[in-house]
Structure 1
Amino acid sequence: MYILLVFLSFTGFCIAGLFGRHIGPKGSAIVTTGCLATSFLLSLFAFYEVGLMGSVVYIRLSPWVNSEVLLINWGFMFDSLTVVMCVVVTFISSLVHLYSIEYMSHDPHLPRFMSYLSLFTFFMLILVTADNYIQMFLGWEGIGLCSYLLINFWFTRVQANKAAIKAMVINRIGDFCLIIGILVMFVNFKSVDYATVAAMAPFFKNETTNFLNMDFDIISLICVFLFLGAVGKSAQLGLHTWLPDAMEGPTPVSALIHAATLVTAGVFLIARSSFLFELAPNVLEFIAVLGAMTAFFASSVGLLQNDLKKVIAYSTCSQLGYMVFSCGCSDYSAGVFHLANHAFFKALLFLGAGAVIHAVNDEQDMRKMGGLKNLVPFTYSAMTIGSLALIGFPFLAGFYSKDLVLELAYGKFTPSSHFSYWLGTFGAFLTAFYSTRLACLTFLVKPNGYRSVIGFAQETFSYIFVALCFLTVPSIFVGFVAKDMIVGVGSDFFGAAIYNNPKTLHVFDAEFVVFFYKILPVTLSLLGATLSFILYNFQSSILFHVKTSFIGRKIYSFLNKKWFFDKMYNELFGQFFFKFGYSMSYKLIDRGTFEIVGPTGLSSVAIKTAHQLHKAQTGSLYHYTLIILTTLTLLLCMRHLWSVFGYNFDYRGFVLIFITLFFISNSNR
C-alpha cells in the first residue's frame, strides 16, 4: 500500500506522457486524476495507521549506492510528519488535476500538462518519504525540474521562458548550498541516513571542522548550508525573487507550487532535520530573524501589487516566513501545522483566482475588474472564505495555526523570538489589508473593466466548481478539528519524527502569555481588514490623495517595485555576469585560450606549418642542401649546449617555452 501511494503518480505520468497521443486528452485526464485520487485514499489509510495509531512504517527496497563507507538504500520512512505531508500533497494535487481538466480544456497539449503535474507530485512524495538525505535530494531536484517544465509550459511566451530560467537559476544557488551541507555531513558522520545522523549528532556537538581553511562548529556549519538550501526552495528573503515571476505558468501550476509542493519543501527539510538544528541555537536565531523579515517584507510588497495572482504569491511568501520563523523558535510542529492549514486555503485562493481569470477572458489586472460579486457568486464566496482563513479570521483554519505561531514566538522570551512576534504581528495587519483589498477590487467596487469582458463574465458548474467545493471545507474546519490532536498542549502526535530539546521547550510557557499579546494579532488583522474595506469601498479619494502626495509616490514606487530587489540584482550581479560571460569567459577563454591550445588551434597550426614547409619545396638542389646543412648545424649546437648546461636547467621548461612561442608566432600571422 505504501509503495503504491508513492508510485501511482509516477504510473500516471508514464501513461499520460508516453501514450497521451493515443489515449487523448480525456484519457490522460482520467488516468492521472484517478491515480492521484487513489493515492489520496491510500494516504488517508497511512495517516490512520501511522499518525493516529502510532505504527511507524519503514520499507527498504534495495541498495542504491554501496561504495565502501557510503551506503545508500532505496528506503521509505512513513512517520507522522511524512503522512501529514502525504495527505496534504495528494489531496491538493488530485484537486489540481481535476481542476485542470476544465481549466486547460482549450489547450492542445493537455496530456503533456497532466503528465508534468503527476511527475511533480511523484517527486514531492519521494522527497517527503525518503529516509536519507540523498534520496530526499533526488526528490528536491525533481520538483525543481518539474517547476521549470510547468512554469515554461507555454514555451512560446518570452516571459514564461524568463520566469522559468530565473526560478531554475535562483534555486540552483540554494541547491548548491544543500549539496555542500550533505557533503560536510557525510565527511564527518560517514552517513547520510536520517536515523544514523540523528543518533551521532550529539557526539559532534562541540567538534569543529576545517572549511575554507577556517575552523567551524560541525553542526552549525551543516545547519547553515541546509537552511540556505531551504531559503532557495521556500523563497525566503534574498532568494525570493523567483516566486512572483513563477505566476507566468498556468494557474493550476501556481496552486500546486504554492500550496503543497515546491515552496513547502524547505520548511519540511528544516522540520525533518530538527535533530541537527536543535544542537545549533545560533543558527536557529538566524532562521527566526530571517523568517520574520520575510513575512514582513512580502506582506508589505503585497499591499500595492495589481496582478491578482502576484498578490496571492506574495501572501505565500509571507506565510512561508511565518513557518520558517516558527521553526527558528523551535516550534517545528506549529510550523508544520501552519504549512498544512495554509495549503488548503492557499490552493482555494489560487484556484478561485483562476476561475475569476477564466471568467474575465484571461485578464489578471485587478484594476480592470470589479463588480464580479453578482456575476460569479460561488467563486466570490470561495475566495472570501480563503481570504478570511488567510488573515486568521476567528475559527477558520488560519486562525488556529498563524496565531499559535505568534503566541509561541512571544512565549519563548528571547530577543529573536520577540522580534519575530512583532514583525509577524504587524505583517498580519498588512496581510489582512491587502487580502481585503484584493476582494474589494475584484468583486465589490464598481466595474472598471471593458464592457465586453465584464458583461459576459460567468462561472461554470463542473470540475472547477467541484474542486473549489472540496477545498472550501478544510479551509473552514481543518484547524478546529486537528489543532488539539497535532499541536495541542501535551500532544505527542509527531513523536520521534520531530525532535525538541527539553531545555528549550516553551509550549507550556506560551499558555501563560498575557492575554493582550495573544489577542493582538487577530485584533490587528480585523482592524486591517476593516480599514481596507472602508477605504476601497467608500473613501477611495483618501487613497488617491495619499498616493499622489510626494511621500506617497515614493512609498508607492518603493513597494510596487518590490523594494528594488530585482533592480539591485540585475545591476549588481546580472550585468556583471553578462559582461564577464562575454568579455572574459567567451572572448578571452573560450574563443581565445581554448581555441589557440585546443583542437582548433592545433589544426590551424598544423595547416600553417604544412603550408610553410610546402614553400620550402622549391625543386632546387642547392636550397635542399642549405636546409640540410642549417638543420644539422642547429642540432649539433643544441646538443653541445645541452651537454654544457643540461645539468643546471630543467629541459621541460624549454619545451614549454618553445611550444608557447611556436603557438604565439603562428597565431599572430
Structure 2
Amino acid sequence: MNLPLIAISCYSLSMLTLLIPLFSSTSPLLHLITKSAIKTAFFISIPPLFLLINENFQTTMMSWKWFVIASVPLNFSIQLDHYTILFVPIALLVSWSIVEYSLWYMHNDPKIQLFFKYLLIFLVAMLLLVSAGNFLILFIGWEGVGIMSYLLIGWYFTRSNAGAAALQAVLYNRIGDIGFLFTIFWLISHFDSIDYNLIFSMNVPTPLIIAFIIAAASKSAQFGLHPWLASAMEGPTPVSALLHSSTMVVAGVFLLIRIHPIIKDNQTALTTCLCLGAISTAFAATSALTQNDIKKIIAFSTSSQLGLMVVAIGLNLPHLAFFHISTHAFFKAMLFLCSGIVIHNLNDEQDIRKMGGLQKSLPITTSCITIGSLALMGTPYLAGFFSKDSIVEAINSSNVNAWALIITIIATSFTAVYSLRVIFFTSMNFPRFNPSININENYPTSTNPIKRLAIGSIISGLIINQILTPSSPLTLTMPTYMKITALLVTFLGFLIAFDLAQISWTKTPSQNLSKSINTSFYPLIIHRLAPALFLNFGQYNSSHLIDTLWLEKMGPKGLAYSQLPPIKKNQEVQQGLIKIYLSILVISMTISLILLQLA
C-alpha cells in the first residue's frame, strides 16, 4: 500500500473540494454549497488519519518549483506529518459546525453569500499554514488568515466599534508580520533557503528566534500584544468561534511548534516562551474574572489557554501544546456558538448578570455550555482534562523557573472560577431577563452544530491522546500529590466560584475590584496615554522645528544673520579715526584730479 500517495491524494482532493465554492461565487446557493464542500472535505480527510493510527504514517513532502529569486529557489512545498494529518480533520469538523450554525445566525444578512466566501477563504488559509513545507507557504497562509480576520471582524462595518476592532487586529498583527518577514529575508540572505529541513539543521541565531516568538505572540495574542483579541468580539459570533477555536489565534502557537527543532536547544528562547506564556495566561485569567460580557469572558479564556500552550512550548513539550490546541478547538467553538444562541434569544443581551435560569428554556444550549466550561476547567475525562492535566504534570515535574510555573498553576485555578461563573449566571438560579422575551432553540441548524461539538468536547481528548506521539520521553513515575495537582487547583477554583456566586446572589458586588483588575487599564495606557504622549512630543518638536528653523532662522533672523559678515568687515574699516578718514579723502581727491588732468 502506497501510504504517501493516499495521504497526498486525500489532502489534494480536500483542498480542491474547498475551492469549488469559490468558483461558484455567483450561485444563490453558495452558502449551502460551502457547507457541503466543508462536510465533504472532512470525510475525505479521514483516511489519512486512519493511516496515522494503524500504519504509523511518517512525514511526506511534496514540492513544486515556483520561482527563483537571486539564485534562491522558492518552491511550493506541502508537508504532511502527524500534526497536519491530525489537525486538518479537526479544523474541518469545527468549521463544518460553525458554517452550519451560520446558516441560522446569518440568515437575515443581505450579504450572506459573501460572508460564507470569507469563512471559506479563512479556513483554506489556515489549512495552508498548517500544511506548509517551508516558511514562504507558511507566511502566505499566515497573511491569509490575517487579512480575512480583518474583513470578518469588521463585517458590521457600520458600527464604529467593529471598524476600530478590525483595524486594531491588523495593527497588532503587523508587528508580528515585521518579525516574520525579517526572519524570512535573513534566512534567504544567509542560508539561501527557507525549507524547514535545511533551516532546522543550521545554527539559527537567538535574535532570529526571538523575532519568530514576537510574530507568534502577536498572532496568538500574548501579553503586550493581546488587546485586539477581546476587541474582535465585535464581529459576528460565528467569526469569533472560528477565530478562537481552530484558525487565527492558534497560528502563532503552531509556528512555535513548527520551529521547535531550533528552539529546543536554545535556553533563552525556551525561557522567553515560558515567561511570556505564564504572564499571558495569568493576566488573561485575571481579566476574565471581572468581565460581565459573556463573549469577552470566553475571549479572555482563549488568551489564557493560548498562554498555557506557549508554556508547554517553553517546557520543551510541543506535542502537549498541539494536544491542547486540538482539544481546545472543540469546546471553545461550542462555547461561542452557545453564547450566540443565548445572546440572540435574549435580544442581543450579553451581560451575564441579566441572564439566569436558562436551563429550563434553553436546555440543550445550557447543557453544552456546562460541558464546554467543565472541559475548559479540565474536569476529569472530558477533552480538556487530558491536555491540561498533562501540561500541569509537566509543570510539576519541571525544575525551571519556579515563579513562572507557580503563576501558571494559579491561573489554572482562575480558569475554574470564571468558567463556573458563566455556568452559574447563565443556567442556575432565577431568570433575570425580561419575561416577555420569546425564547426558542428549536432550530436544527443552531443545535446540531453544538451537539456535534459537545461530543468532540467529551471524547476528543481520549482519542487524540492515543494518536499523538510525545516529542520527548515521558515521566513514568510521579508522586500522587503531583498527579492530582490539576484536580486540586480546579476544585479550589470551584469553591471560590461558588462562594463568589453566593455573594453576588444576595448582595451587589463592589465595583472597586472590577475597576482595578479589569484588564489592568492596559488599553487605556497603550491606546490613549502612550499615543497622546507621542503625538504631543511630535507636535512640540515639529512645531518648534518649523518655528525656529524655517520661520525664524530662514526668515527675519536668517536675513539679519546673512548681513552680519559684511557689516563686520565695514566696521573693521570704519573705526572712528577722523584724521585717517580725512587723509583718505584728500588722497582720493588728489588722485582723481591728477587723472582728470591727464585725461
User: 1:586 and 1:123 mapped to 2: Cα distance?
Assistant: 46
Is 1:529 the equivalent of 2:494?
Answer: yes
Summarize the alignment of residues 151-550 of structure 1 with structure 2, pairs less than 5 Å apart.
151-199=153-201, 201=202, 204=203, 218-414=204-400, 416=401, 418-453=402-437, 456-486=438-468, 493=469, 505=472, 507-508=474-475, 511-536=476-501, 538-540=502-504, 544=508, 547-548=509-510
SS state at 2:73 partner: strand
C-alpha change, 1:90 and 1:541, in structure 2 (3 Å) is closer
User: Structure 1 48/420 Cα, relative in aligned 2: closer, same or farther at 3 Å?
Assistant: farther
What is the match of residue 129 of structure 1? 131
Structure 1 residues 116 and 405: CA distance shift in structure 2, 3 A: same
**Structure 2: how far apart are the matches of 1:280 and 1:237?**
22
* AA at the equivalent of 2:372: G
- Structure number with bigger Rg: 2
Give the letter aligned to residue 474 of structure 1.
G
Q: How many angstroms apart in 2 are the aligned matches of 1:575 and 1:65?
A: 46
Secondary structure (helix, strand or coil) at the match of 1:156 reads coil
Residue 57 of structure 2 contacts residue 82 of structure 2 at CA under 8 Å; is this kept in 1?
Answer: no
515-524 or 71-80: bigger deviation = 515-524
Q: Residues 19-76 of structure 1, C-alpha deviation per residue, up to 9 Å, x if partnerless?
A: 1xxx32xx11111111111221122122223464233464545322212432111121
Equivalent of 2:22, from 6, 10, 13?
A: 13
**Equivalent position of 2:31 in the other structure:** 29
Q: CA deviation at 1:87?
A: 1.7
Amino acid at match of 2:276: L
Counterpart of 1:507 in structure 2: which amino acid?
L
In the other structure, the counterpart of 1:70 is 72
Report SS of the residue matched to 1:507: coil
Structure 1 residues 294 and 52: alpha-carbon distance in aligned structure 2, compared to 1, 3 A threshold? farther
Once the two structures are TM-superposed, the CA of residue 461 in structure 1 deviates from its matched residue by 3.2
Q: CA deviation at 1:481?
A: 2.6
Q: Distance in 2 between matches of 1:50 and 1:485?
A: 8
Quick check: 1:563 aligned with 2:565? no
In the alignment, the residues of structure 2 paired with residue 427 and residue 318 of structure 1 have an alpha-carbon distance, to the nearest angstrom, of 8
Q: CA deviation at 1:168?
A: 0.5
> SS in structure 1 opposite 2:248?
coil
Is 1:13–1:116's contact at 8 Å kept on the other side of the alignment? Answer: no
- Aligned partner of residue 358 in structure 2, secondary structure: coil
User: 1:339 Cα shift?
Assistant: 0.7
Q: For residues 81 and 333 of structure 2, what CA distance do their matches in structure 1 show?
A: 25
Aligned residue in 2 for 1:628: none
The structure 2 residue matched to 1:140, chosen from 139, 142, 162, is 142
AA partner of residue 569 (structure 1) = I
TM-superposed CA distance for 1:572, in Å, is 4.0
Task: Say what the alpha-carbon RMSD is for the aligned residues.
Answer: 2.3
Letter in 2 for 1:526: F
Q: CA deviation at 1:90?
A: 1.1
Residue 523 of structure 2 aligns to a residue whose secondary structure is helix
Q: 568, 573, 577: which is aligned to 2:530? A: 573
In 2: Cα distance, 1:163 partner to 1:586 partner: 32
- Conserved? CA contact 2:61–2:133, under 8 Å: no
CA gap 1:451/1:327 in 2 versus in 1, 3 angstroms: same
Q: How far off is 1:410 after superposition?
A: 2.0
Runs of 4+ residues deviating >6 angstroms: 580-589
2:53·2:467 contact (CA, 8 Å) conserved in 1? Answer: no
For 1:104 and 1:433, locate their aligned partners in 2 and report how far apart those are by CA, in whole Å: 32
Q: Secondary structure at the match of 2:65?
A: strand
Closer, same or farther: CA 372–198 of 1 in aligned 2, 3 Å: same
Contact 2:169 2:232 in 1 (8 A): yes
User: Hey, what's the Cα distance between the residues in 2 that align with 1:99 and 1:93?
Assistant: 10
Matches of 2:507 and 2:196, distance apart in 1: 53
Q: CA deviation at 1:344?
A: 0.6
Any gaps of 5 or more consecutive residues in structure 1? Answer: 205-217, 487-492, 495-499, 594-669
Distance 1:51 1:240, change over 3 A: farther
Residues 59 and 82 in structure 2, CA contact (< 8 A), matched pair in contact too: no
Report the TM-score when normalising by structure 2: 0.86
Partner of 1:93: 95
**SS of the residue aligned with 2:265?**
coil
> Structure 1 residues 63 and 409, CA, compared in 2 at 3 Å: closer, same or farther?
same
CA change 1:64–1:584 in 2 (3 A) is farther
Identify if the C-alpha distance between structure 1 residues 397 and 587 changes in structure 2 by more than 3 Å, giving closer, same or farther: farther
- Write the distance in 2 (CA, Å) between the matches of 1:95 and 1:129: 22
1:587 Cα deviation after fit: 12
State percent identity of aligned pairs.
Answer: 34
User: CA 1:525 to 1:32, structure 2 compared with 1: closer, same or farther past 3 Å?
Assistant: same
In structure 2, C-alpha distance between the alignment counterparts of 1:14 and 1:61, rounded to whole Å: 25
Q: Which digits, 9 at most, give the CA deviation of each residue in 1:416-436, with x for residues without a partner?
A: 2x3343222211211111111
CA shift digits 1:250-275 (9 cap, x unpaired) = 00000000000001101111111111
Deviation at 1:81, TM superposition (A): 1.0
Q: How far 1:7 sits from its partner (Å)?
A: 3.6
Question: Which deviates further from its counterpart, 346-355 or 181-190?
Answer: 181-190
Q: How many angstroms apart in 1 are the aligned matches of 2:362 and 2:179?
A: 46
CA 1:403–1:67: 2 relative to 1, 3 Å: same
Cα pair 2:30 2:116 within 8 Å, conserved:
yes
Letter in 2 for 1:555: L
| Structure 1 segment 44-123 matched on structure 2, within 5 A | 44-50=46-52, 52-56=54-58, 58=60, 60=62, 62-123=64-125
Cα shift at 1:543: 6.1
Residue 581 (structure 1) shift: 7.8
Q: Which amino acid aligns with 2:145?
A: I
Between 346-355 and 50-59, the greater mean CA deviation after superposition:
50-59
| 3-state SS of 1:166 partner | helix
CA contact (8 A) 2:359 2:427 kept: yes
Unaligned runs of 5+ in 2: 1-9, 551-599
TM-aligned CA distance change 1:342 to 1:543, over 3 Å: farther
CA 1:320 to 1:79, structure 2 compared with 1: closer, same or farther past 3 Å? same
Measured after TM superposition, the shift of residue 185 of structure 1 is 2.5
Asked whether the 8 Å contact 2:392–2:485 carries over to 1, the reply is: no
Distance 1:463 1:249 in 2: 20
Describe the shift of the 1:579–1:345 C-alpha distance in structure 2 as closer, same or farther (beyond 3 A). Answer: same
Cα displacement (A) at 1:585 = 8.7
Q: Secondary structure at the match of 1:254?
A: helix
Letter in 1 for 2:175: I
What TM-score does the superposition give when structure 1 sets the normalisation length?
A: 0.77
Distance 1:91 1:577, change over 3 A: farther
- Paired with 1:540 and 1:256, the residues of 2 have a C-alpha distance of 33
